[in-house]
Amino acid sequence: MGRPGARMVGRLPRPRRGPLEPEDHPHSMPPDRPVPSPRHLAALVRATVPPMHRAGRPFVLGSAVATLLLRGSSRRAGAIGAVATAAVAWFFREPHRVPPGRAGVAVAPADGTVSTVGAAPPPGELGLGSAPRLRVSVFLNIFDVHVQRIPLDGEVARVAYRPGAFLSADLDKASDVNERNSLLLRGAGGHQLAVVQIAGLVARRIVCTAREGDAVQAGQTFGLIRFGSRVDLYLPAGSDVLVCPGQRTIGGETALAILPGSAS
């Protein structure tokens, strides 16, 4: 025992430390960090995964039922069916599009590749006469979005369906001989445009939800062609085409032409 008043020499015992505070724990989350709500997560999913066109629901439902039946007999067959169901749902996707919002501009009626730009007579069933008009043709392969969109604000003046052949839609004569559905649109500025849905080699069904007298807006979905197709846009004389063959288009967003009388 040391003398009274003598100083203790050596290390003092370390105080016992309590459990790590939340901010010091390496695996903890700071208490002020916001946690995403289920509603926010659902909004993110909707923004990432495009909705499906209603015409595709029977196909997806049928594929899903077949997948469940296959899954009961073979896990591998069920997995293949699930992939096929997802592919069908993806084919019928209808992504949100934002048109340029510029007056006097005709936007692309479909996603795809510009196949031809030139003069051609419009469909006779629309009553526009036989004089050639400037035409922009967009070819859709099986991987493109297959919904069609209105090219400008206006009104549907006429809808005309004509049965026909099912040649490859990338052929120029497909505009004349293939099955087609034509819309005559009257723009707010008085311009008349024709949009023609043309079936292709694999496509066997044209869906059109537009009706005569409907008020429509640029970028609005009006129809769908299943499994490979083509869309023609006939423009009024004096239009300034902004695209060329081989260029990719985004339906409802890509500006195809400036209409006559519009500021460039």
Q: Which of 229, 239, 262, 264 is catalytic?
A: 229
What phi, psi does 125 have (nearest 5°)?
-70, -10
pTM for the model: 0.74
Query: Taking CA 40 as the corner, what is the angle to CA 35 and CA 41, rounded to the nearest 5 degrees?
Result: 85
| Residue 11 buriedness (CB in 10 A; 0-12 / 13-18 / 19+) | exposed
Please, are residues 115 and 230 in contact by the beta-carbon 8 Å criterion? yes
The strands making up 255-258's β-sheet, listed across from edge to edge, are 105-107, 255-258, 240-241
Cα-based distances in Å from 151 to 31, 61, 138, 158, 241 = 51, 31, 13, 15, 13
Residue 200's Cβ-count burial label (10 Å; 0-12, 13-18, 19+) is buried
Residuewise pLDDT in 10s, the chain (264 residues)? 455 555 545 555 555 555 544 445 555 555 566 777 777 666 665 566 667 667 767 777 887 888 888 887 888 888 888 888 777 777 777 788 888 888 889 999 999 999 999 999 999 999 999 999 999 999 988 888 889 999 999 999 999 999 988 877 777 778 888 889 999 999 988 899 999 999 877 656 888 999 999 999 999 999 988 766 899 999 999 999 999 999 999 999 999 999 998 655
Is 229 an active-site residue? Answer: yes
Query: In angstroms, rounded to a whole number, what is the distance separating the alpha carbons of residues 42 and 218?
Result: 28
Of residues 143, 51, 48, the one with CA closest to residue 91:
143
Quick check: 133 and 119 in contact, CB under 8 A?
yes
What residues pair up with 198 in beta bridges, in sequence order? 180, 230
Longest dimension (CA), the chain: 123
Grouping H, G, I as helix, E, B as strand and the rest as coil, residue 68 is helix
- Model pLDDT, residue 40: 65
Compute the distance between CA of residue 205 and CA of residue 180 in angstroms, rounded to an integer. 10
